Structure 1
Amino acid sequence: MSIPLLRAAALVLCLLAGLPSAGLAVEEEVVLGLSQDRVAITADFDGSEILIFGAVKREAPIPQGPPLEVIVAVSGPNSPVTVRRKAKRMGIWVNTDSVLVDSAPSFYAIATSAPFQEVISDTEDLRYRISIARAIRSVGAAMNITNAQDFADAVVRIRENEGLYSLRENTVAVDQQTLFRSAIDMPADLTEGHYTARIFLTRAGKVVSSFETDIDVRKVGLERFLYSLSREQPFLYGLMSLAIAIAAGWSASAAFRLLRNN
């Protein structure tokens, strides 16, 4: 084969390699919108609701077969958590064992368009770490600690009772397998930081598309000033707190004397 033909053949192969395979083409893709991508924590902040809505972008007609399902997962900043087990010793409750859970989100909410077990398979859940139990990472515990999984379960149970973890099945509305919407309630005691919103499209329990975006949660105004001062200038913050306490005590004492004299 001549050199020009070899070059032409190589060019054709390169072009074919650059084309997406028909079998691997993404037929459905998430197009997402948020009612707000920033949550401001103020003095009268009592929680927030974030509306998550979107559509499914397609290059072909809606596939036949199982219906499209949607999962929305919003998670807060991750941090390690030390969990302690108490036991009664000689009539007194004392800490006996402790386990460091390597990473647990400060807030985690899941909304689904159908029961969770019907929306996604266990294999896909393991792959994408969507369920609450799999969002918590615990590498291991000391050999002398029995039932180490109980410590991770305790984190989930406590934060569910506090309203920080929740699974909200059948709360994502899907219209014509194209439009979807859901609302995530965020409690008043939010941790500052970057929150992540993940959206998954599934069919027959398998993820066909996913999308991820950030939500910024920050203190603003006087709360932000005091928070920053306490972290950056702790000595000055302590002096200011002491001065406020003295002034408040003196004012209360003066008011009490005035009322007593009258």
Structure 2
Amino acid sequence: MPAPPPAPPPQPAAARPPLVAELSHTRVEITTGFSGTEVLVFGATERLLGEGGDDVLVVARSAVPEPMVVRRKTRVLGFWINGASARFRQVPGFYLLTGTRPLHDMMEEEERRTKQLGLEHLQMAAAGNQDEEFRAALLQLKQSAGLWHEEDEPLRVSGARLFRARLPLPATVSTGDYRVEVMLVRDGRVLARQELGFTVNRVGTAARIADIADERPVVYGLLCILLAAFAGWLGSVLFRRG
């Protein structure tokens, strides 16, 4: 009898990716009662995280930058009026950075600047006035509104390889697409990265009100005036009866 054909060689096992990440949800819906929410980023790494091991860095931002004007208030004859201003052509409406350690402990200054990581290295070119004071004012405004964060508190690590991070979205968050970059950092360098995304949309009554405001601003303005007048009249009637 002829000898049986030799068995095929075993297939090499697929290499495990050094980093795997996912989002808790990819769609955030804004209703009339929306008061903010959070998106959870979670994942795992091949090597251990923490001291002597790898680091994970998470950066979330709005996908499309937006222009913004910062004005200095000037007091003239007892009145506050708009003074000098700076127009920033492209700034992220939302920006959040967090990691297993503070960013300055993970990477050297040159690496952070090259990759534009951290609030101090955001690209915010101003048209007209180049005074550093306006950049500082923009930074303060965004941080006060809860739209820009650079978290010093590390993201949560479990079992030395599993991680999760919270991305808080305030009630003032804008609609649109958002990009989340999850990076694996080793010896101060980005070894691997994964890009995720989610969308913020208005739904229900909030969406209809926004559509009227965008498409028919005059009608929207008249409706606001009528509602304010009705609220004032109703309040006066109730207080008079009381």
- TM over 0.5, yes or no? yes
Once superposed, which parts of structure 1, at least 4 consecutive aligned residues long, lie more than 6 Å away? none
The residue aligned with 1:37 is 26
Q: Per residue, is there more helix in 1 or in 2?
A: 1
Provide the residue aligned with 2:98 in structure 1: 111
Aligned length: 226
The residue type equivalent to 1:98 in the other structure is: S
d(CA) in 2 for partners of 1:206, 1:216 = 29
Shift of 1:132: 1.4
Q: SS where residue 156 of structure 1 aligns?
A: helix
State the secondary structure of the residue aligned to 2:143: helix
SS state of the match for residue 118, structure 1?
A: helix
Distance in 2 separating the partners of 1:255 and 1:237: 27
CA shift, 1:158, in A, is: 1.8
Partners of 2:16 and 2:214 lie apart in 1 by: 49
Aligned-pair distance for 1:215? 1.4
Distance 1:34 1:251, change over 3 A: same
Q: TM-score by structure 1 length?
A: 0.73
1:52 matches 2:41: yes
Code of the residue aligned with 2:33 in structure 1: it is: D
Q: What RMSD in Å do the two structures reach over aligned CA positions? A: 3.1
Say if 2:145 is the partner of 1:158: no
Matched residues in 1 for 2:190 and 2:32: separation? Answer: 41
Q: Which of 124, 131, 135 matches 2:111?
A: 124
> Structure 1, unaligned stretches of length 5 or more?
1-25
Give me the whole-angstrom Cα distance separating, in 2, the residues matched to 1:102 and 1:109: 20
In structure 2, what is the Cα distance between the partners aligned to 1:131 and 1:195?
Answer: 17
Q: Deviations over 1:37-90 (max 9, x none)?
A: 11111122221121110122x5xx779x94211111121352111112344556
Letter in 2 for 1:78: P
Kept in 2, the 8 Å contact 1:72–1:198? The answer is yes
Distance 2:42 2:231 in 1: 48
Residues 157-183 of structure 1: CA deviation (Å, up to 9, x unaligned): 122122222221242123455321111
% identical equivalent positions: 28
Please list every run of 5 or more consecutive structure 2 residues that lacks an aligned counterpart in the other structure.
1-14
Residue 224 of structure 1 deviates from its aligned partner by 0.7
Amino acid of the structure 2 residue aligned with 1:48: T
Which residue in the other structure is 1:181 paired with? 164
Which of 1 and 2 has greater Rg? 1
Match of 1:84 in 2: 71
Give me the whole-angstrom Cα distance separating, in 2, the residues matched to 1:177 and 1:88: 56
Distance 1:110 1:33 in 2: 16
In 1, Cα distance between the equivalents of 2:75 and 2:212? Answer: 42
Residue 74, structure 1, aligned to residue 57, structure 2: no
